């Protein structure tokens, strides 16, 4: 299966350059070779930064009317949509996403967000401040006011992970370019194709040279991007441990950083909840994309009066999960990304059992899968909230059920975490759920399933070890700008 027109090259300053090294990218479902992907050199990463810096400082890209950038980015998105089926196949093969997940969440939602971001970019770039009257030394009154101008922050290093690569590549590149920034995009070595294809789209629509570069590479490539003084903003999605390193690497240049990191989000099930609905949400909280999602609700806080019934319902649902190669459209649950992820999941299963948790279902590699990095969806009950399985991000298909006796305890348990990205509450008392949501220390809370979609105008991000800054909507667009105040008085 051929995916890329330039399978051996990185995209620098509007040109394709052959990389000095190649690395196998494999399908996590069957371990077949997808591509010998390019691995950019340190010199190529440096060249990409230089191209982005030159394009920002010496071209008219940051200064052209917003309508021009909106039109160009709309053509960019149109060109992506023309290749939708090809990209969805790429997501299935490269990231191991099921076909439903690939088409709806990994492709459809980011494109919805991107289209909305193009619309949001029409907001006034300059806003007025209130008039102030100030007595002056001449015995008269000064009529003073000013404006606030939002301007592009500069060169952006966008670093994306392997779990939702197309989603996050689009979520970084589109708002950055709309804001007038220039971008160097570095994808995960596991999923480079979903980034490199954007270089082909950039060529097709005539994106100005240097405005977007795409480089692949290892830890050293990332270190260059996060420490180079020519980079103004690092926009990163990944683990909290890598986030620590990026913050340290950016500190000497006081670089702006936006980071969306890990999570250990809580789903609270009150005693009056619709248990069938809550159990279905609980199932998704640790099985969607094999548990490889930072905002997944992997801590299931369930009122003790309904906990046994909830666990039994969830156990029954797990029996209907179809594990397999996601190239099969009937499969609802695919593989982990690599063997290292599967081994990590196995280690946490052992840790949970050592800590006294009760294994309800799963806990092992499924029978009959000689190829691929599959692991059964795994559920534990009788989990202590202070245990490692409840506090540390597994990034694998493991759900932990924790009992509580009243709302105050549920809130305390949910907040007793180093992370704060997402959350959910199920209750037929929507008002009480709303009151509880206001007290949860997290970036977002969904009540009874939320809005039915990921809202494109909603700022997304976390607190504590889940990172800082926001993505999507006007807040996400503003992360790629800085504010300049221009003041003046009437004369």
What is the torsional sign of CA 240, 29, 365, 399? positive
Whole-angstrom distance, CA of residue 476 vs CA of residue 116 = 12
Distances in Å between the Cα of 336 and the Cα atoms of 242, 324, 392 are: 20, 11, 18
If we measure between CA atoms, which residue out of 427, 464, 409, 420 comes closest to residue 444? 420
Give how far the C-alpha of residue 23 lies from the chain's centroid of Cα atoms, to the nearest Å.
24
Per-residue buried b or exposed e for 290-325, using 16+ beta carbons within 10 Å of the residue's own CB: bbbbbbbbbbbbbbeebbeebbebbeebbeebebbb
Eight-class DSSP state of 192 = -
Query: Around Cβ 330, how many Cβ atoms within 10 Å?
Result: 9
- Encode 395-422 in three state secondary structure: CCCEEEEEEECCHHHHHHHHHCCCEECC
The 10 Å CB-count burial string (b at 16+, else e) for 382-404 is bbebebebbbebbbbbbbbbbbb
Considering only CA atoms, which of 275, 278, 262 is closest in space to residue 461? Answer: 262
Positive or negative, the Cα torsion across 255, 256, 258, 259?
positive
Catalytic residue among 194, 260, 393, 471: 260
Q: State the burial class of residue 245 (Cβ atoms within 10 Å of its Cβ: 0-12, 13-18, 19+).
A: middle
Q: How many CB atoms lie within 10 A of CB 485?
A: 9
77 contacts 118 by C-beta, under 8 angstroms: yes
Q: Are 186 and 216 spatial neighbours (Cβ–Cβ below 8 Å)?
A: yes
Q: Please report, for residues 278, 345, 350, 386, 388, the alpha-carbon distance to residue 357 in angstroms, rounded to integers and kept in the order given.
A: 21, 15, 10, 12, 11
To the query of whether residue 36 is one of the catalytic residues in this protein, the response is no
Phi, psi of 317 (to 5 degrees): -65, -35
Counting every residue written for the chain, the total comes to 491
Q: How far apart are CA 356 and CA 371, in angstroms?
A: 32
Structure tokens, 48 = 């990409």
Which DSSP symbol is given to 80?
Answer: H
Q: How far apart are CA 189 and CA 379, in angstroms?
A: 30
Annotated catalytic residues are 260
């Amino acid at each position: 299966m051929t995916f890329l027109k330039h399978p051996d090259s990185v995209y620098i300053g509007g040109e394709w350059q052959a990389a000095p090294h190649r690395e196998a990218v494999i399908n996590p479902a069957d371990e077949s070779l997808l591509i010998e992907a390019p691995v950019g050199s340190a010199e190529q990463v440096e060249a990409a930064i230089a191209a982005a810096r030159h394009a920002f400082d010496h071209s008219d890209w940051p200064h052209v009317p917003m309508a021009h950038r909106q039109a160009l980015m709309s053509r960019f998105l149109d060109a992506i949509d023309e290749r939708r089926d090809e990209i969805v196949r790429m997501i299935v093969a490269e990231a191991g996403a099921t076909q439903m997940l690939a088409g709806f969440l990994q492709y459809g939602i980011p494109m919805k967000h991107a289209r909305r971001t193009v619309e949001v970019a029409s907001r006034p770039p300059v806003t007025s401040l209130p008039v102030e009257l100030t007595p002056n030394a001449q015995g008269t009154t000064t009529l003073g006011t000013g404006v606030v101008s939002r301007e592009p922050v500069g060169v952006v290093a966008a670093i994306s992970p392997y779990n939702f690569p197309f989603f996050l590549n689009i979520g970084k590149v589109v708002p950055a370019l709309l804001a007038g920034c220039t971008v160097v995009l570095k994808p995960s070595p596991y999923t480079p194709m979903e980034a490199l294809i954007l270089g082909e789209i950039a060529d097709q629509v005539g994106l100005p040279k240097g405005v977007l570069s795409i480089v692949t590479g290892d830890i050293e490539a990332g270190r260059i991007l996060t420490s180079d003084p020519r980079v103004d903003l690092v926009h990163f999605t990944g683990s909290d441990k890598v986030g620590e390193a990026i913050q340290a690497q950016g500190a000497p240049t006081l670089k702006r950083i936006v980071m969306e990191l890990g999570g250990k989000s809580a789903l609270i099930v009150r005693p009056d909840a619709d248990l069938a609905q809550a159990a279905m949400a609980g199932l998704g909280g640790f099985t969607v994309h094999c548990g490889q999602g930072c905002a997944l609700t992997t801590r299931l806080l369930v009122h003790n009066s309904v906990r046994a019934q909830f666990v039994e319902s969830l156990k029954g649902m797990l029996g209907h999960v179809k594990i397999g190669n996601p190239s099969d459209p009937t499969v609802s649950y695919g593989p982990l990304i690599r063997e290292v992820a599967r081994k990590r999941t196995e280690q946490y299963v052992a840790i949970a059992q050592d800590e006294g948790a009760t294994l309800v279902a799963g806990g092992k590699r499924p029978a009959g899968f000689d190829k691929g990095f599959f692991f059964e969806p795994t559920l534990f009950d009788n989990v202590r909230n202070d245990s490692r399985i409840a506090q540390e991000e597994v990034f694998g298909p493991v759900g932990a059920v924790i009992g509580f006796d009243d709302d105050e305890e549920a809130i305390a348990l949910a907040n007793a975490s180093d992370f704060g990205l997402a959350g959910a509450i199920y209750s037929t008392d929507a008002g009480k759920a709303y009151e509880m949501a206001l007290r949860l220390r997290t970036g977002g809370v969904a009540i009874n399933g939320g809005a039915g979609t990921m809202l494109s105008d909603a700022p997304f991000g976390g607190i504590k070890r889940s990172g800082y800054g926001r993505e999507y909507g006007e807040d996400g667009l503003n992360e790629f700008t800085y504010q300049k105040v221009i003041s003046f008085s009437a004369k």
